[in-house]
Chains A and B, each alone.
Chain A
Amino acid sequence: MSVEKIRSLIAQHGRLSIDIEALKNADDLYRAGLTSHASVNLMLALEDEFDIEFPESYLKRGTFESINSIGMALAEITGDMSMAN
């Protein structure tokens, strides 16, 4: 379920150059057009949606590399490992 939420937030805030439906969970979001500016907005939306705060150690390019890596980061931050799926 969280993957669907992540997808929906990427669709709203990611400003990708391709359709979100065409994006696989492991695909590189930066190659799909995610900019650092858009990644900030995406992060803010994720913080609001999941009621979390990204610690400093997650504020790096790798965290937002793919839908999977975002899911993994959320799982680690919340301690809810089901979010990694």
Chain B
Amino acid sequence: MAVTSHTSTETSRRDFFAEAATVASTAVAASADSVDKEARFPTESIEALKASKLLGAMIRPELGGGGATISELGRVIETLSAQCASTAMIYAMHQIQVACLVHHGETPELLDYTRKVAAEELLLASATTEIGVGGDVRTSLCAIEHGGAGRYTLTKEAGVISYGEYADAILATARRSPDAANSDQVIVVVPAADRTLEQRGSWDTLGFRGTCSLGFLLTAQGPLSNIIPTPYADVSAQTMLPTSHITWGHVWLGIAEGAMAKARAYVRAAARKSPGITPPGALRVAEAMTVLHQFRALVHGAARDYEEALDDPTRLTSMGFAIQMNNLKLSSSTLVVDIVGRAMQVCGISGYREDSPYSLSRALRDAHGAALMVNNDRIYNTTAQMLLIAKDV
């Protein structure tokens, strides 16, 4: 093991961005419109990501993964999102679950499972929300029940499990035991063989239509060793909160990049038609680029800050850091709507049309999901609470 742990040198380092760019310009670009129109799972895109070994990108090389940093993953997500935000969001949600395994799955059984995720390029989903808790993922009603012989059973009315039926495993939150408090939660890794899913409701939304975020009744049984030993409260604060907001931030940024690419192409085409006359949209593009550069600095900077904080547990668990991550979500989810709106101004009716190469319909609909998926008002409330007592922010 000591030998293999040193194989990830600078010279052998993978270019994750280039790999993602290839997948994005082929399978993802080709399927994005039909995924959106039919609100279907982006099978071709996810298969292409698997073929490029990008699902296991974040797992340590000694466990068979790519050893990507969160900044590198962010660039992958951004690149995918410029073509298809649903694919990028699925990839982001998968990586959040991988991060939980990478940072908290330290038992021999869970390390074995992490190796399997890398070797077989498994797709992970999440069941954190539950009917009856008012959207508060830090509360569970369902509980892990010990079935004897080192096994558990679990039944959860999951309000949403995005791409649940396509996932090779679902990471579900539950109370530690039937007599545990609602906030005393753990995460259990539920491979497809250990579960049944009974579909509840449908997923017919404005945007992010390919994420297939349906509700399910999840019933699971399996070995107790599939439970992550770290309490969910710690997993949530140290890993899920930062990786969620950073990976989502890159999804929103990618939407903005895609919209601006269209706006710039539109203005360039106009400029070519009448050289010497600066098209009216050019000024708007210049203006919008200043906002896009702020957006890039915000999202890329947050990823670097998180990488630095990984070596500093005090910083990672501080209120100041939690507030910074909350603010990343609040700012980036607002900026994406702003940028797509500006791109629409530039492209005019061509951007408004569904049947034009400059159509911004999908970008506009996806962009508005950003502030609603984990509602910004909920996050503002949490931050407002923390600011009552936090000092160094």
Taking Cβ atoms with an 8 Å cutoff, the residues of A that contact B are 16-18, 30-37, 40, 43-44, 47, 54-56, 59-61
Contact = CB atoms under 8 A, between A and B. Distances in A.
A32 B183 CA distance: 9
Interface stretch (B8-16, B340-348, B367-375, B383-391): B383-391
Given A30-B233, A36-B138, A40-B385, A56 B183 contact: no
A-B pairs, top 5 by smallest CB distance, nearest first, are A33-B181, A17-B181, A56-B391, A35-B183, A56-B392
B70 interface: no
Interface in B192-238: 231, 233-234, 237
Interface of B: 138-139, 176, 180-184, 231, 233-234, 237, 314, 317-320, 382, 385-386, 388-392
Contacts of A36: 138, 233
A37 B382 CA distance: 8
Contact of B385 (A17, A18, A37): A37
Given A30-B183, A32-B181, A59 B388 contact: no
B389 A55 contact: no
A37 B388 CA distance: 11
A33 B318 contact: no
A59 B319 CA distance: 7
Contacts, number: 54
Given A33-B184, A35-B138, A55 B391 contact: yes
A71 to B, nearest CB: 19
Contacts of A17: 181-182
Nearest to A59: B319
Given A59-B319, A60-B318, A61-B317, A31 B389 contact: no
Contact of A59 (B139, B180, B181, B389): B389
A56 B181 contact: no
Given A35-B138, A56-B318, A61-B233, A43 B389 contact: yes
A16 B385 CA distance: 19
B231 A40 contact: no
Contacts of A54: 389
A31 B180 CA distance: 7
Nearest to B381: A37
